[in-house]
Structure 1
C-alpha cells in the first residue's frame, strides 16, 4: 500500500522577498594614478574618473557598483553623460523594484537607452552586491559557487618612451609572482617591436607575453608588426585594428599564427556572435563596464566557451569594487580562464581607493572573501577627498 502523500510544507515567509530599492545614489570621484600610464589612444593618463552607484533599500541594506568615464577602449562616456543616464533615465526604472529582478531591470534599461553598457554596469553590479548582502552570501555563490580559491591576474606594461622603465616594470611584476604580461603597443611600430623584443629577452622563459594595440593600428601595420613578433612566441595579440573592422580582423587572423584577441569590438552578445561567425578572434576579453556588468559578462563567457574561445577577464583601471566584482565572477567560473587584467587598477596603478578595506593582491592572485556581497563597503571619508561635483 502506498504511503499517504504529504505535500512539502511551504517555506516560511522571507522579508527579503519584499525588499524594494528606495534610492539610487550616484557618486563621481577622480582616482589618481600612482604611476605613469599610457595606451595607444590618447596621451599619458593622470588618473581615471569613476562613477560609484550605491543602491539603498527599505531594509537598510545597500549595494555598490562602479563604472568609469574612461573615454577610451570602447567608451565614449563622460562623468556628465553617465550620471545623466543613471539619474534621469535609469533611476525611475530601478526605484521601487526588487533587487533580485536584475534580468528585467537590465532589459528595461536596454529598452530605455540603447548601447548604454557603461551606465548600466554600475547599477548591474550594485544589484549583484545587494543580492548577496540581503541573502548573507558572497556574490560568487549567486553565480554558481566557488570553483577556484584565487583568480590570477596579468601584469600590464604601459607604453613608455624609455625601454628601461618598461623592463623595470616587467621585472618588478615578475618578482611579485606575475607570470602573464600584457605589453601595450600601437603608437610606433618600430618602437613597439623593439619594446616587446626587449621584454621577451629580459624575462625568464616561464613569462607569458601578450600584446595589446588598443585598436591603434591600421591593417597593414598590424600585419607587419605581427610578422616581426612571430618568433617571440606571443600568446595573443589584442585588438590590433579598429573595433568596427571585423572583416579586417578576420583577414588578419588568416595571415598570422599569433592568436587574435577581441576586446573593444565586443560590447554585446551580438558583437561576440559576429566575431565567432567570421572567425575573427580565438580569445575574448570582457570588462564589467564595457559589457554592462558581471551578470552580462557571464553570458558572454558561456557563449565564448561554447565556441572554443579562450576567456580573458579584464577591466579598465578602477578601484577595489570593479576588480572584486570580476574576481567573484571568475571565482564561480567552472571553465579555464587566462590570467587577465581585471585587477589592473589595484596592481599598483591607482593611488587611492574608495572602500574601507581595499582589496589586496596575494602575489598575482586576488582571493575574494566570504563576506556577503562583494565584501566591500564605501569609505565616505576617503570619497570626500576624491569627489567630483556634478
Structure 2
C-alpha cells in the first residue's frame, strides 16, 4: 500500500453557540482536512485545526506545509513501513505541529485499514466507550450558570469552565455554577494562561476555602513559565493540569521531572499527531502521571483519532473531546459516535470514515507540486 497523492481540502461546521475563552472567540470550525490516497485505492483522512493564538498555525501555513513540503517527501512510501514515514515526517520541517498532526492521523487511518482493524485495537484496545466533559464558554456569571445547568440536563456530569479574564469575576462564576448544578457534578477550570502565579494561587485558595470542590485547574499561568506552574502546583491542593506548557514529549517529560504539574493534557494538534502522543503516554506511565486527552476546537476526524488513542491507553483517565458536540451540524458521516458525553468507537477499520463521502475537496485549494 503506497502513497500516490496527498490532497488538502476544507471542512467547515457552524457552532451551536460562540466558543469563548481568555484567548479567543470562535463562531464556526474551519479546518484543513487531508486525504492520503494509496495505490490500492484506499484513502486515509486527517484534520488540522488552525489555532494561531496557541500553536501558531493558520490555514495558509498548514496547507503550504502539507502540499509544498510534506507531500513531496512522503509520496511513494509504503504504509507497511510506517515508522520510516513518521521519521521523514518529523524531519522534513520543524514545528508546524497541526499540519504534521493531520498527516499523522491520515497515516494511522490507513494503518488500521491495512490490518483491517479499528485503530484503538491496534494501539492497545483498553476500552471502546468513553465519556467526555463539555466546555462552558466564558461569559457573565449568570449566563455561565444557565449554560452549565443546560449541559447537566443533557447528561454531562463533568463541566470544563473557561475562566482567566477577570479574577474577581472568575470566583463569582464558579460560585454561581456550583450553586446551580449541585455538588455531584465535577467542575474543571481552564484559565488558558490567564493568571500570574501568585494571582493563580490566591484565586484557587479562595475557591478551596469556599469548598467549591474543583477537580482540576488547567494551565493557570503562561505556557513558558514552568517555574510559575510549579509554584502553583506546590501551593494549592487542586490538581494542576499542564496544557499549553506541554507540546512535545520533551516538554511533557520536563514537566514530570520538575513535578511542575500533576497532570498532562495531550492534544494531537500540539504533539504533531498520534505517534508523539503515544510517547507522552509511555513516559506518563513510567512517572505515574495521569493524562487527559484533549482537543482544540476541532471537528470529527481529528477528535475521532483522539478518541481512538484515549480508548487504547489506561493512562488517559480524563477526556475533553467535546468538539463534535459543540457543532450545530455533523459535517461527515462515520467515525466515532458522539452522543453528547458518550463516545463510542466502531469496529470499522482505521478511523471508520468513508472517504468517498468526505466534503471539502471539490473546491479545495489548488494543490502544490506532489
TM-score by length of 2: 0.93
Measured in 1, the distance between the counterparts of 2:360 and 2:336 equals 16
Per-residue deviation, residues 199-228 of structure 1 (Å, max 9, x unmatched): 112113221111001112222321221121
Asked if structure 2 preserves the Cα contact closer than 8 Å seen for 1:30 and 1:388, the reply is no
Query: Post-superposition shift, 1:346?
Result: 1.4
Helix, strand or coil for the counterpart of 2:301? helix
Q: Which residue of 2 aligns with 1:154?
A: 133
Q: Which residue of 1 aligns with 2:51?
A: 70
Q: Which residue of 2 aligns with 1:56?
A: 37
Per-residue deviation, residues 294-315 of structure 1 (Å, max 9, x unmatched): 2321221121122121211100
Helix, strand or coil for the counterpart of 1:241? coil
| Structure with larger Rg | 1
1:182 aligns with 2:160: yes
Of 377, 382, 386, 2:354 maps to 377
1:293 aligns with 2:273: yes
Per-residue deviation, residues 182-204 of structure 1 (Å, max 9, x unmatched): 10001111111111111112113
Query: Post-superposition shift, 1:385?
Result: 9.2
1:355 aligns with 2:322: no
Query: Post-superposition shift, 1:29?
Result: 3.3
Helix, strand or coil for the counterpart of 1:374? coil
Asked if structure 2 preserves the Cα contact closer than 8 Å seen for 1:285 and 1:311, the reply is yes
Per-residue deviation, residues 227-247 of structure 1 (Å, max 9, x unmatched): 211131211111011110001
1:137 aligns with 2:114: no
Helix, strand or coil for the counterpart of 2:308? helix
1:165 aligns with 2:178: no
Asked if structure 1 preserves the Cα contact closer than 8 Å seen for 2:336 and 2:352, the reply is no
Change in Cα spacing, 1:151 to 1:386, as seen in structure 2 (3 Å) is farther
Query: Post-superposition shift, 1:335?
Result: 4.0
Q: Which residue of 2 aligns with 1:34?
A: 16
Helix, strand or coil for the counterpart of 1:137? coil
Per mean C-alpha deviation after superposition, the further-off stretch among 52-61 and 308-317 is 308-317
Structure 2 residue runs of 5 or longer lacking an equivalent are none
Query: Post-superposition shift, 1:97?
Result: 0.5
Query: Post-superposition shift, 1:20?
Result: 0.5
Per-residue deviation, residues 245-291 of structure 1 (Å, max 9, x unmatched): 00111111111111110011111111011111111101111111111
Q: Which residue of 1 aligns with 2:26?
A: 45
1:316 aligns with 2:296: yes
Query: Post-superposition shift, 1:381?
Result: 7.3
Per mean C-alpha deviation after superposition, the further-off stretch among 97-106 and 357-366 is 357-366
Structure with the larger strand share = 2
Structure 1 residue runs of 5 or longer lacking an equivalent are 1-18
RMSD: 2.0
1:304 aligns with 2:284: yes
Helix, strand or coil for the counterpart of 2:79? coil
Asked if structure 2 preserves the Cα contact closer than 8 Å seen for 1:28 and 1:79, the reply is no
Asked if structure 1 preserves the Cα contact closer than 8 Å seen for 2:267 and 2:294, the reply is yes
Q: Which residue of 1 aligns with 2:308?
A: 328
Query: Post-superposition shift, 1:71?
Result: 1.7
Asked if structure 2 preserves the Cα contact closer than 8 Å seen for 1:29 and 1:386, the reply is no
Change in Cα spacing, 1:299 to 1:330, as seen in structure 2 (3 Å) is same
1:113 aligns with 2:93: yes
Asked if structure 2 preserves the Cα contact closer than 8 Å seen for 1:140 and 1:328, the reply is yes
1:209 aligns with 2:187: yes
Per-residue deviation, residues 140-162 of structure 1 (Å, max 9, x unmatched): 121122x223111011111013x
Helix, strand or coil for the counterpart of 1:361? strand
Measured in 1, the distance between the counterparts of 2:365 and 2:246 equals 30
